[in-house]
Structure 1
Amino acid sequence: MTHDTWNEVLRDQIDWHWRHQLRPRLEGLTDQEYFWEPAPDSWNVRPHGTGNAPIQAGSGNMIIEFAAPPPEPEPFTTIAWRLGHVIVGVLAMRNASHFGRAATDYRSFNYAATAREALGQLDAEYATWLTGVESLGEEGLHRPCGEEHFEEDSMARLVLHIHRELIHHLSEVCLLRDLYLHTHGTFNQEEARK
């Protein structure tokens, strides 16, 4: 019988899901899927100067769209937008706050212009996160997080929150891939047979 530490259990919980469910489902993501807008006026990642949202943030050639406060109802968000949110808002900003990554935020991040580049960014930030959580050991999980909305919480609670966010948002990305396949993928195959 093994005696896993809580740190190992927390990492295993997300890493099993990552390796067996989430990351394999993202393999082969195309640029067409990445930028696909399933609803009118979707928020997306776009080249500078082509967006319509009140806030268009990004330091490179691409921007991510949003508004503060968001409108009611919020616009539908694309795979590119959701990956941008996970890469920056869920992982990179926390990696910067807690694990030595260079400071970043939605406005200063260089958003990916291709699906392949976005998956590379996702993989890099996820690896930094997992290594950072491991570096906390057992004692570090008990220290106060000090992050906005988590001021009184331990790092363990932040870790659990980030893992929920990863599972939640990346599952949405997987669902959008399914929707794309069953609309565009099937349609294109039928058109090719005509």
Structure 2
Amino acid sequence: MTDPTWNSLLRDQLAWHWTNQLRDRRDGLTDDEYFWEPSPGSWSVRPRGTGTAPVQAGSGAMTIDFAMSQPDPPPFTTIAWRLGHVIVGVLAARNAAHFGRTPTDYQSFEYAATAKAALAQLDTEYATWQAGVEALGEAGLARPCGEAEGPYAEHPMAALVLHINRELIHHLAEVCLLRDLYLHTNRQTRREAS
């Protein structure tokens, strides 16, 4: 790469992770893995009316579990929950605030009922985010985030991009780890049953 810009470096950091670490690891995600609860009381995405968390948010047939004050200790979260958080809280809400996406939040979002649908939502929001960051150019990275980012309103957009990169790398690595745990836990259970 000759004479890279900060904008391309920020996008490439996330794109490299997406392409080289995540893409192959998320392919083939099953509905069983998506909804698997490795511990009792896990938070997840569930059919409306079946959750036990203090809040079940969502506009469609599925809702996501959460609470206004996080319990101590916080509940374990499923792949479905983690993907819901990334799709809505990390990407879609920011895409709406900064890049022209239809406004959304945890309450108004229509959560996916299948792993395949969740991955399609993730792809859409990721593509919108990356295109939006590219459209910022160099000058846009220096402008303030604005009121959508609350107490961080005066921080430059570059700081928000770095934050979103960290969030995506962190949470999607957790999804990969949960897939590994599912595979090895279920492999052991199958051996014990034989």
The normalised TM-score by structure 2 is: 0.96
Equivalent residue, structure 1, for 2:143: 143
Q: Quote how far apart the aligned CAs of 1:40 are.
A: 0.6
Larger CA deviation: 144-153 vs 97-106: 144-153
Seen in structure 2, the aligned counterparts of structure 1 residues 174 and 149 have a Cα distance that, compared at 3 Å, is farther
Alignment RMSD:
1.2
* 1:77-99 deviations in Å (ceiling 9; x for gaps): 00000000000000000000000
| Cα pair distance change 1:15/1:185, threshold 3 Å | same
Residue of structure 2 equivalent to 1:26: 26
* Rounded Cα–Cα distance in structure 1 between residues aligned with 2:151 and 2:7: 22
C-alpha distance after superposition, 1:105-129 (max 9, x if no partner): 0000000000000000000000000
**Letter of the 2:174 counterpart:** E
Matched, 1:58 2:58: yes
**Separation in structure 2 between the aligned mates of residue 20 and residue 149 of structure 1, nearest angstrom:** 34
Matches within 5 A, 1:64-143: 64-143=64-143
> What's the offset of the Cα at 1:191?
6.4
Instruction: State how far apart, in whole Å, the 1-side matches of 2:88 and 2:25 are.
Output: 20
How far off is 1:32 after superposition?
Answer: 0.3
Offset of 1:27 from its aligned partner? 0.5
What is the CA distance between 1:76 and its match in structure 2?
A: 0.5
Identical residues among aligned pairs (%):
70
User: Which residue in the other structure is 2:185 paired with?
Assistant: 183
Aligned partner of 1:162 among 161, 164, 172: 164
Aligned length: 192
Q: CA deviation at 1:186?
A: 4.2
Equivalent-residue separation in structure 1 for 2:46 and 2:30 (angstroms): 16
Partner of 1:171 in structure 2? 173
**What is the CA–CA distance in structure 2 between the aligned matches of 1:155 and 1:73, rounded to whole Å?**
33
State the Cα distance separating 1:55 from its structure 2 match. Answer: 0.4
Distance 1:51 1:34 in 2: 16
State TM-score, norm by structure 1.
Answer: 0.96
